[in-house]
Amino acid sequence: MTTLFGLGQGLFLALYTGQLYSLFQLLPPPDGPSFYGMGSAVALVLMAIGMIASIFHLGNPSKGWRAATQWRTSWLSREVILLPLFILLTVLYGGLHFLDWNPPLFSITEGIEVSLTFMIGALATLVCFALYLATSMIYASLRFLQEWATPLTVLNFLLLGGASGFTLVTAFAINSAPHLIGFFGIWAIIITLLALCSRGASLYRNSRIRHRSNPHSAIGIRHKHINQLHQGAMGGSFNTQEFFHGQSDPVLQKIKMGFLVLTFPLPIMLLVIGIGFSATSWLIVAALIQYLGLLLERWFFFAEARHPQNLYYQNA
């Protein structure tokens, strides 16, 4: 869910970045309005699949709408409100482009006219960034999970989503706007490098965390030597099933190395080959490989957090 949402948002940001550059005549516009229209459609499909995926982790999907009622205190509620708003604005943005109905609203200077789609895109961009913030703060606001409780969580969600979106739009431009491949590809490389720095910083930080929770605090006993002999229950429980990934440390290390390779250096290498040697098929491979890496990264993100309750059930 989170990788699809981030990819769809990043794709929209890439499209709007292209329109922004074209407005100020820093970039030639695509041939026809279908580039922005079809690109927005792809972003909407990704968001729709993400919404379908979100249903599967709801205990009672029929009551899912209630998540929006706690917007004053809950980042999850804010995400639930911002998501359909962003989708609506993306529909308007892409639909107007697809219909080629884009009247100018006002002029900044001679030759630079701000159109209706540009203003809708600007509003959608603000909502998009707010949605990134709301999604990431669902995890970053949990102070008892020290691996998540850092501004790097917010930055990682933003940069990883942006990197995957720009990589995807680079592949998308092969047929609809080939003269923009270099522009989007270079930005994809830059944002991927920034995401590598940010995710690397979070990995380094998390490897040096001194956890406040320990077996003594888990059971409220301050004896010097505590050895857990039993998990505290006769069988499995919700706690042991939902708050632990069940994988060994070697498996975690393999997944960690896998996402580091697939998300960062390999897509960058493929983008360089695709742009430098006009090997456009490699751009599609880069987008697919980077998304696979994002799936591994997001799995590791959840597995990386050491829930304090697992100290109590560690023998399980």
User: With left for phi above 0 and alpha for psi between -120 and 50, is residue 249 left, alpha or beta?
Assistant: alpha
Looking at residue 310, what is its pLDDT? 80
DSSP codes joined into one string, 65-125:
GGGGGGTTT-HHHHHHHHHHHHHHHHHHHHHHHHTT---EEEEEETTEEEEHHHHHHHHHH
131 and 79 Cβ atoms separated by less than 8 Å: yes
pLDDT the model gives residue 236? 67
pTM of the model: 0.92
pLDDT for position 292? 98
d(CA 312, CA 232): 8
* Res 244: pLDDT: 82
Provide the pLDDT for residue 126: 98
289-311 confidence digits (pLDDT tens):
999 999 999 999 999 998 888 87
Q: Which residue stretches of the chain have pLDDT < 70?
A: 231-236, 315-316
Digit-coded pLDDT (tens) for 158-209: 999 999 999 999 999 998 899 999 999 999 999 999 999 999 999 999 999 9
CA atoms of 276 and 279, how far apart (whole Å): 8
Query: Domain segments of the chain: what residues?
Result: 1-57+65-141
